[in-house]
Amino acid sequence: MRVYAGINYLTNTTERQLEGVVGTNYSITVSQGDPVEASLTALYGNETPNASITPSSFETEPEPLIFHQGQMNIGGTNQTLMEEAELEISPNARFQRGWNQHPQEAVLGGVETSLTMSKVITGTDLRAEAYGGSGGPQTQVNGPTANLSLQTPGTSGLTFNVTDFAKPSEYGWTNFIDAENDAMEDVTFTAGHIEATASSSESSAL
């Protein structure tokens, strides 16, 4: 893809036209008290400077997704009292250059996906997922499905359906001997297949 990054400063206008942009890391973070944040890290193969802003029109900025309209579901169980969650996708893309100054192709590396969550301890279902059973550590750990859905106060929303979980990779407690704070459990899942669906008042599926 191409990215046009332009700015009007005091005496002039400049724009950086980034060409051959390839995403290397994408994350979406839901944190109590903050708007939902999406982040993209990318490589680009070449750059052209421009003296004017290229896009002739701009999309209307959508309403921000709000943390208190979100919902996390793990293995069919809705997770209550969520504090924070982050979904991260790292394609680990790289350029192929040959003997050229600028890259000629881009390829995916080892794709890594993870889902990290932190919540007030309200039960034992997440610990059982991490151990492979309610009776403590087992010889095999199953991989549950997950659903992370986010909503504006209006009608726009974003849903991530995660299937083929590889396994929970980390599990731990924090604040469990702190009388001034809630006892929390933190879990990191290595995710498999991810499907994202966006909806708005203009279109039910984007």
The yes-or-no verdict on residue 205 having pLDDT over 60 is no
The yes-or-no verdict on residue 206 having pLDDT over 60 is no
For residues 30-51, average pLDDT: 93
**Full-model pTM:** 0.83
Q: What are the counts of helices (DSSP H) followed by strands (DSSP E) for the chain?
A: 1, 16
The yes-or-no verdict on residue 12 having pLDDT over 80 is yes
The yes-or-no verdict on residue 191 having pLDDT over 90 is no
| pLDDT-wise least confident of 28-37, 103-112, 175-184, 197-206 | 197-206
Nearby residues of 98 by Cβ (< 8 Å), 6 or more positions away: 104
